[in-house]
Structure 1
């Protein structure tokens, strides 16, 4: 899969090559904060296939967390593009709303539904988990 995307103002562009490890929607409170209230729609992609083709993002990590993630965003318009987790160094979390063609995305699971708000929608038949699915 060869994907391209950008921030809202167009100052930052990226290319992402490779097959997604996961396509999901997350309803946890942290994702609600960073999305402005909606579930977070994302794909876990190989980090080796990702590159910024225009501009350089700003980064943010919370210093009060034991294992903080790093969020990459446009300093001009604030668009959150990517999240990097220290426990997944070979992958990154790509925000669906930043894709030039977001129709390539269809979530395969919904996670952290324990925090789901009444106005969040989970499609009928989509596997949903209170936290994470069992590993197996």
Structure 2
């Protein structure tokens, strides 16, 4: 699968190619902060399959956490493009894809933090934390 996308203003562009490691919606409290309250819909890809094709994102990682995630976003418009957790994976925000409809979340994770107004589609596997591998 080849994915392309970028930020709202077009200053940052990327592409990723390969099989997704996970397509999901995350309900964790951290994602709620980043999205403004909704679950985060994402596709996880290998870091080797991802590259920026235009511009360079600004990065942010909390200094008060032992193993923080690094958030990458456009310095011009603020669009959050990807997250890089401590493990080797790139979490691409589905809303930044050129064709977001190509991604269908297959699982809901961190539902322990789910808000009453969040929706998990009927029949979608849901886990309080990460599913066991």
Matched positions, count: 133
Q: Which residue of 2 aligns with 1:57?
A: 57
| TM-score for the superposition, normalised by structure 1 | 0.95
Which runs of no fewer than 5 residues in structure 1 stay unpaired?
Answer: none
| TM-score for the superposition, normalised by structure 2 | 0.97
- Indicate whether 1:72 and 2:48 are aligned: no
Q: Which residue of 2 aligns with 1:25?
A: 25
Which runs of no fewer than 5 residues in structure 2 stay unpaired?
Answer: none
Q: Which residue of 2 aligns with 1:95?
A: 93
Q: Deviations over 1:32-53 (max 9, x none)?
A: 0001100000111011111111
1: CA distance between counterparts of 2:126 and 2:29? 16
Q: Which residue of 2 aligns with 1:118?
A: 116
Q: Which residue of 2 aligns with 1:2?
A: 2
